[in-house]
Each structure stands twice: as C-alpha cells, then as structure tokens.
Structure 1
C-alpha cells in the first residue's frame, strides 16, 4: 500500500515539476512525508519505467507515459519522431541515430512495438542497434518504423 501511494505521488511530482536527479525526487518525497532513501527511489524509477527527456528549466527531467501493454501513445510516437535523426539497415541489423541522450528512449519505444522480426536491441547514448535474423527482416523493420514515424 505504501509503495502504491508513493508511486502515485512520484508520478504527480514529475508531472508538475522538472526533477533531474534521484536526490531531487527523494527530497520532494520527503517533503510529502515519505521517508525514502535514494535506493528506494532508484527501485521506484525502475518499476515505474521512468525515463529522462530534455527539460525546459533543467537539462533533463524524469518523464512517464502510461501507454498500456504493447500500445504506443501519441506522446511516445511524438517522442520517437522528435529524437530519431536517421535510420538504415546494415546486413541483419538496423542502426538508428538519435539526438544525444535519446538512444535508450528510442530503444524502449521499439521494444514496446514488439515487432516479431526483431531479435533484440542495444541502446547507447545516441544510437540504437536493432538485430534481426536476416537482411530481409532488417528491411521490414525499417519499413515498419518509417510508417510509425509518419
């Protein structure tokens, strides 16, 4: 019960404020009578699947999109559109270049799309590498992602 209430409070905090670090989130939760440590906040961030996006007042801020299982919300689709710079097949792989700091965001979205052609993916700071079983599958993934970007 305590965790559920804390999760709701975290989502409320990040929807109203730009929170850049776990320490800032910890401080805000403590102000609202949740006595938490950085380790607890770290687990909460993982459980809530929070991610960082560019902030207005701060360099980055935590964000959350409640998209439901295997459904991509318009917000997520826009995030993907905004962060992808280029995409191309390379043998049985797809290389996606993103804005700096958005490789993992693009990876999260691609994973959520659950394309059967994708074997796995690895995200870096500004690159997402998608692995498929064949060059044909890589081309199909590029086609599907281009449709998704429209």
Structure 2
C-alpha cells in the first residue's frame, strides 16, 4: 500500500499528493481503464471522482498505448522542459503513441486516435504555437485541426504524417 498523508476524513489529498500516487500506480501496474485506476486508488486510501481522475490524467499527460498483449493501457509520457522545442517533441511523441490515421479535408486536418486520447492530443497541439493552426476540436477519438487555408493544412498533414511512422 502507498503511504499517503490523508486528512482526518481519510479521503482528501492535496492535488500534488494524488498526482504522485497516480504516477506511481501507472508505473507499477498495468491499468486499462479509469475504473481500474479508481479501484487501485481506493485500495490505497484515496477517494476521488471520475471527473477528478479525468482531469488528473490530462494534467499528468497520461495516454493509452497498446501494450504487448494488444490491449490499450495507461502510460505517462516523459515530460521535458517547457520550451517550444520540447513542446514540438512532446507533440511528435504523442502523435506516434496515439494517432492511428490522418486525413485532410480542405483546410482541416483530421487526426484519428486510439479511444479516449483525442482531448489529450488536442491539448498538446494547442500548447504548440503554429501559424498553420487556428484551433482544435476534440471528440472521443478524433481531433480536427482547423487551419487558416488549405496550404497550411497541407503543412500540418505532412508534419503529423512524418511523426506517425
């Protein structure tokens, strides 16, 4: 069991403490779903809502990657210094990890991801300053990147395709 400094009620931790426990669990267990993560947290004395865990997953840049058995499980991306170079590298790595297909329709680049990873990918795209991007829209497993014109969309499509392989 993970040692945690719990409050008197035994259920509330500081966000940083909860994040540390989640990171430890992700490193030491194969976790396929948020429900499994919630159960492991509960076993370790941490009570949290599904919404809180979803935010934590996004904050910690945890994604689902296909493991050796062919099932998707949670993995934490390695964080780098917060400069433009590392943001681009992070986006490249995330593209390799979660994007399954890339399409372009005129001024939009459509990125298909493994389930439940589109919001994380869209957030990573939003972090990188690119003149070829106006905004992103994310669903469950699809991100639409809207560009100011078709030429810009072609540049983005090329960038993502180069990072897909």
Which of 3, 26, 51 lines up with 2:63 in the alignment?
Answer: 51
Conserved? CA contact 1:89–1:135, under 8 Å: no
Aligned to 2:9: none
Q: 2 CA distance for matches of 1:60 and 1:147?
A: 23
Inter-CA distance 14–57: structure 2 relative to 1 (3 Å threshold): farther
Aligned to 1:139: 154
Q: Would you say 1:119 and 2:134 are equivalent positions?
A: yes
Q: Would you say 1:77 and 2:92 are equivalent positions?
A: yes
Shift of 1:72: 4.3
Conserved? CA contact 2:133–2:148, under 8 Å: yes
Shift of 1:78: 4.4
Aligned to 2:43: 31
Conserved? CA contact 1:88–1:94, under 8 Å: yes
Which of 104, 115, 119 lines up with 1:101 in the alignment?
Answer: 115
Q: 2 CA distance for matches of 1:128 and 1:73?
A: 17
Q: Which moved more, 1:3-12 or 1:74-83?
A: 74-83
In the superposition, the TM-score normalised over structure 2's length comes to 0.65
- Structure 2 residue runs of 5 or longer lacking an equivalent are 1-12
Over the residues paired in the alignment, what is the CA RMSD in angstroms? 3.3
Q: 2 CA distance for matches of 1:20 and 1:59?
A: 8
Matched position secondary structure for 1:101: coil
Shift of 1:118: 0.4
Which of 83, 88, 91 lines up with 2:106 in the alignment?
Answer: 91
In the superposition, the TM-score normalised over structure 1's length comes to 0.70
Q: How many residues align?
A: 148
